[in-house]
Amino acid sequence: MDFEDYRTIFIIGTLICVLLAATPALSIIISLPKSREKFSEFWYLGPNHMAEDYPFNVTVDEQYNIYLDIVNHMGNSIYYAVYVKFRNETQLLPNATWSLPSPLPALYEFRALVQDGATWERPFLFSFSEISVLGDSCSVNKLVINNYLVNMNSSANWNAERNGFYFQLFFELWFYDAGLKSLHFHNRFVTLWLNMTG
């Protein structure tokens, strides 16, 4: 081997060592920003802040409570609205396939600005002050939500399969779209079945 061969081996060896030593620094410089999935969590908890003991068998003038929770993973602060709705077994829920909210009117709403990574929680207290049963039909006329009286007229027929009159409180999550400058259904909702038989 002559001097040029040694020189070539030395240069190649030096370049390999430099590249190995620079790899950690190059990976930081070259790395692309990681995209994270953007979503919102939405749920409710029972009266003891647990996923249990949800109200089901309800009676007139008895107060019940749950807790509504939102966690923001959208990458920035989001202005949310939660619309509270009430239905019998035959009325429409939101359509998750088409991202459409229920056509039923909102009875109550919550509004909140939630920072990215933060959790929003509010108590939801409710009671029924006027329920009437006539034959195979049950009518709910007054609902109290967080001390706010809602007059309504919702009725359900007797469910012979489940032996009762069943209704559902449900909660739709909406968010403010700054580009469109309006609230939009976030395609998230949770439901709470209620048996009015008692």
Residue with the two structure tokens 């399969």:
161
Q: What is the pTM of this model?
A: 0.81
Q: Which residues of 92-121 are buried (b: 16+ CB within 10 A; e: fewer)?
A: ebbeeeeeebbebebbbebebebeeeeebe
Mean pLDDT per 10-residue segment, the chain (198 residues): 64 65 59 73 97 96 97 96 97 93 97 98 96 94 96 95 96 94 96 92
Q: Is 86 exposed, middle or buried (0-12, 13-18, 19+ CB in 10 A)?
A: buried
pLDDT of residue 96: 85
CA-based nearest residue to 170, from 114, 115, 106: 106
Yes or no: say if 155 and 88 are a contact pair by the CB < 8 Å rule. yes
Give the pLDDT of residue 34.
Answer: 59
